[in-house]
């Protein structure tokens, strides 16, 4: 679903008043990662696309001295005197994303002016499609309100807000692709140099995300544990980051650290193999290999995601499937022959419902452009 500027502006004015000339609309997309899972925080390679699902933040000025924000997604409203924003403490809820961005903007020399914001996201929230980076980047653009900022600074600032204030030790992928993606292409990002290049997505293959509709409590703790395990393996191997390790080096480690390192090394290689692959079938095989690695070596999958991958594997016209995002729930990403989409949707719904009693969300993903003001 894509909102028009006019409908967003009308909804904003119903909430906050003012005239349509006062309202500006900012859009920042969610993303789905095609290859390179959990590699960004080891200075590795990732290959996401931005989605047509996005977070829209509308903005108008106010004379109250406050930053006021309402989220259409949860119906909640918050307000703070702008002068107090630098000292607000985390509330451990959605408002931390807004305040975290405001604080980082102050710190970077872009003071936040009093404003009314309305947030409305079409990215499913907490499903591994990065509603978090979408709300961060859209909020940052709305608070900057036309003040220019280099892309890399915006990306790093949003990541710092999530790392420091929300308390999630995420890598740079989500904010990066949200800002820099191009329509119709995937973005290969080198998370060490922060350089990227776009590669066109072949139109003959459809990308579908399937939402398992589960979100395990395990997720956040396990993410933190994986980040720590990668740091430990790095120190034992004496490399700058696990991106620099080899499979032979991984085999000198033991137990879990060996398996974790094997995933990071093989997954980085799969990013390059995916870009070099000549056919949808080859790309699909890399998807299945990535899923097996995330399930067995990295241990971030769950029965629901494994089941969605196995259901997809049995459908004619499916090239490949894998979990995507942090894991322990959220989405799989599937490469499908467009002619097979109706069959895919029907079978995935039916079999997943039979197995777990839940109807999965299914989203056709169109590689879309990065964040911008929407006029
Ligand atoms: P993901 O990024 O995979 O969607 P996260 O756990 O990283 O999952 O981020 C989800 C959190 O981001 C939500 O719990 C909520 O706090 C916040 N969030 C994202 N979008 C919105 C929104 N439109 N309104 C309010 N909060 C949001
Ligand atoms: Mg997130």
Three-state SS string over the chain comes to CCCCHHHHHHHHHHHHCCCHHHCEEEEEEEEEECCCCCCHHHCCEECEEEEEEEEEEEEEECCCCEEEEEECCCCCEEEEEHHHHHHCCCCCCCHHHHHHHHHHHHHCCCCCCCEEEEEEECCCCCCCCCHHHHHHHHHHHHHHCCCCCCHHHHHHHHHHHHHHHHCCCCCCHHHHHHHHCCCCEEEEEECCCCEEEEEECCCCCEEEEEEEEEECCHHHHHHHHHHHHHHHHHHHHCCCCHHHCCHHHHCCCCHHHHHHHHHHHHHHHHHHHHHHCCCHHHHHHHHHHHHHHHHHHCCCCCHHHHHHHHHHHCCCCEEEEEECCCCCEEEEEEEECHHHHHHHHHHHHHHHHHHHCCCCEEEEECCECCCEEEC
The mean pLDDT of 345-374, rounded to a whole number, is: 98
CB 50 within 8 A of CB 30: yes
pLDDT confidence bin for 215, thresholds 50/70/90: confident
Ligand 1: residue whose CA is nearest its atom 8: 126
Fold for domain 203-365? Alpha-Beta Plaits (3.30.70)
Residues within 5 Å of ion ligand 2 by Cβ? 130, 132
The stretch 245-269 carries a mean pLDDT of: 98
Counting ligand 1 atoms within 8 A of each CB, the residue from 135, 173, 214, 216 with the most, and so the one to mutate, is: 135
Measured from the Cα of 76, ligand 1's closest atom is 25
Domains 5-199 and 203-365 share a fold: no
Q: How confident is the model at residue 221 (pLDDT cuts 50, 70, 90)?
A: confident
pLDDT score at 181: 98
* pLDDT reported for residue 263: 98
Say how far apart CA 335 and CA 9 lie, in whole Å: 36
pLDDT for the residue 273 = 98
Pocket test for ligand 1, best of 28, 97, 305 (most atoms within 8 A of CB): 97
Given this model, what pLDDT does residue 312 score?
Answer: 98
Rounded to the nearest integer, the mean pLDDT of the chain is 97
pLDDT of the residue at 220: 75
Residue identifier of the C-alpha nearest atom 26 of ligand 1: 94
330 CA: nearest ligand 1 atom? 3
pLDDT at 219 over 90: no
Domains in the chain: boundaries? 5-199, 203-365
Chain segment 269-320, per-residue pLDDT in tens: 999 999 999 999 999 999 999 999 999 999 999 999 999 999 999 999 999 9
Averaged pLDDT, 66-90:
98
Do 359 and 171 touch, CB atoms closer than 8 A? no
**pLDDT attached to residue 217:** 73
Specify the pLDDT at position 4.
95
Res. 374: pLDDT tops 80 = yes
Q: Domain 5-199 adopts which CATH fold?
A: Ribosomal Protein S5; domain 2 (3.30.230)
On the question of pLDDT at 218 being above 80, the answer is: no
The 361-365 sheet, strands edge to edge: 318-323, 329-336, 206-215, 361-365
Say whether pLDDT at 112 is over 90: yes
**Quick one: which atom of ligand 1 is closest to the CA of 129?**
3
- Site residues for ligand 1, CB cut-off 6 Å: 55, 71, 73-74, 94, 97, 119, 121, 125-132, 135, 325
Where in the sequence numbering do the catalytic residues fall?
Answer: 174
Can you give the pLDDT at residue 156? 98
pTM: 0.97
Shortest-distance Cα residue to atom 12 of ligand 1? 132
Overall average pLDDT of the 195-223 stretch: 91
Atom 10 in ligand 1: residue holding the nearest Cα = 126
Which range among 69-83, 193-207, 215-229, 244-258 shows the weakest confidence by mean pLDDT? 215-229
Ligand 1, closest atom to CA 170? 7
What per-residue confidence (pLDDT) applies to 2? 75
Kindly state the average pLDDT of the residues 236-250.
98
More confident residue, 218 or 141: 141
């Amino acid at each position: 679903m894509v909102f028009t500027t006019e409908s967003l502006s009308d909804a904003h004015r119903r909430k906050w008043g003012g005239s349509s000339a006062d309202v500006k609309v900012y859009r920042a997309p969610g993303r789905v990662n095609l290859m390179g899972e959990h590699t960004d925080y080891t200075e590795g390679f990732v290959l996401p696309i931005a989605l047509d699902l996005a977070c829209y933040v509308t903005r108008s000025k106010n004379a109250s001295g406050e930053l006021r924000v309402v989220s259409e997604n949860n119906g909640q409203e918050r307000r703070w005197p702008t002068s107090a924003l630098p000292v607000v403490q985390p509330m451990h809820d959605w408002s931390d994303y807004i305040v975290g961005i405001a604080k980082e903007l102050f710190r970077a020399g872009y003071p936040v002016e009093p404003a009314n914001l309305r947030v409305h996201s079409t990215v499913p929230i907490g499903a591994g499609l990065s509603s978090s980076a979408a709300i961060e980047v859209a909020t940052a653009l709305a608070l900057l309100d036309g003040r220019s900022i280099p892309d890399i600074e915006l990306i790093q600032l949003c990541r710092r807000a999530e790392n420091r204030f929300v308390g999630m030790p995420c890598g740079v992928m989500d904010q990066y692709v949200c800002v820099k993606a191009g329509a119709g292409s995937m973005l290969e990002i080198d998370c060490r140099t922060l350089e990227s290049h776009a590669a066109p997505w072949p139109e003959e293959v459809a990308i579908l995300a399937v939402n398992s509709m589960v979100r395990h409590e395990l997720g956040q703790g396990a993410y933190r544990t994986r980040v720590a395990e990668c740091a430990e393996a790095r120190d034992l191997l004496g490399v700058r980051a696990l991106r620099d390790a080899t499979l032979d080096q991984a085999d000198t480690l033991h137990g879990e650290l060996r398996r974790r390192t094997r995933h990071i090394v093989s997954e980085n290689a799969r990013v390059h193999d995916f870009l070099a692959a000549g056919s949808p079938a080859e790309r699909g095989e890399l998807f299945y290999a990535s899923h097996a690695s995330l399930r067995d070596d990295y241990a971030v999958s769950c029965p629901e995601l494994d089941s969605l991958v196995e259901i997809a594997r049995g459908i004619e016209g499916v090239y490949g499937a894998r979990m995507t995002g942090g894991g322990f729930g959220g989405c799989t990403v599937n490469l499908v022959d467009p002619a097979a989409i109706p069959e895919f949707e029907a079978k995935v719904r039916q079999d997943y419902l039979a197995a777990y009693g839940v109807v999965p969300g299914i989203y056709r993903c169109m590689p879309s452009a990065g964040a911008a003001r929407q006029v």
